[in-house]
Amino acid sequence: MKIGNIEIDSRTAGLAPMAGVADMAFRELCCEYGATYVVSEMVSSKGLTMCDRKSKKLLVLSDKERPAAAQIFGSDPKIMAQSARECLAFSPDVIDINMGCPAPKIAGNGGGSALLKDPVLAEKIIKAVVSAVDIPVTVKIRTGWDSEHINAVEMAKRAENAGAAAITVHGRTKEQMYAPPVDTKTIALVKKSVSIPVIANGDVTDGLSAAKMLEEINCDYILVGRGALGRPWVFSQISAYLKHEIIMPEPPVSEQMRVMVKHIRRICEYKGESVGIREARKHAAWYIRGIRGAAAYRKEVDSLSSIEELERLAFKIAAENA
């Protein structure tokens, strides 16, 4: 697959943008396990143009996570174009426009999936951003606002017409949020309707589900979101199956705990231990999901106050699940 001049192996998968989760520490870790493309947490276009420090921090990209896209959201073409130019200071490889986020605080203010209800404005935004930068611009959408308004094909055609280099489709409507099922048929129709690469997203959790999505849709690439939470090694599993039809098992619990500690140590390194440990609680809960005794371990996770406590808990979990 090519996004502009950027070549990405279609027999691999990338990390989808996830607010509050897909930060630099997690993106780097996923790349170490084989993710071949990553997208930043979504950043407010208004925040960027007002020089908001928190917004700019979300755009910091390292050399360990390439190629990488900076994702922006908003509803004003001029502000979106200006924010895209602001992103260039952080050297992203791609600018991605979020037109799919279903969160009320985003969609309720006209951004994210709200733009599915206004394809004309969406096209204006894409044109403005494409004209503002000299790197590829991509767009992420959902299948539609609700089951009565499925318009992903129209959105994709407008995105292509506006100059988008690729389009990602999450196979659910805004109203579905993250409830099943994933609508692969609509993504397949999008693929047939445009000539730019189509990237599919939704419920890929391993090599088999990745292969099934590629076969059903004939898409160019896959992004994994929630399927990577507490499981960054999923990218290795996907590549092994897509390239060699090898089904890789889950790592032993001891290895899972080693990765968890490595991940949270990196968060603490980048954000400080106080913030890192607060964020560690949600990540640790994902890492221990499905492990024998997880319910009891979660209570200990909720009371973590230092990296040393986390390490002791990880050792305990590994020993009790050897």
Q: How far apart are CA 9 and CA 185, in angstroms?
A: 23
Q: How far apart are CA 87 and CA 100, in angstroms?
A: 20
Q: Find all residues with CB under 8 Å of 221, minimum gap 6, and list them.
A: 1, 8, 10, 13, 14, 37, 197, 199, 200
Residue pair 111/98 in contact by the 8 Å Cβ criterion: yes
Helix (H) or strand (E) holding 12: none
Radius of gyration of the chain (CA): 19
| C-alpha dist (Å) from residue 64 to 41, 70, 109, 162, 310 | 16, 15, 34, 31, 25
Alpha helices in 35-183, H assignment, sequence order: 45-49, 53-57, 77-87, 104-107, 119-132, 152-161
Write down the catalytic residue from 87, 101, 219, 268. 101
Burial class (CB in 10 A: 0-12, 13-18, 19+), 285: middle
Beta strands in 122-202 (DSSP E): 137-144, 166-173, 198-201
Q: Is 51 a catalytic residue?
A: no
Residues identified as active-site: 101
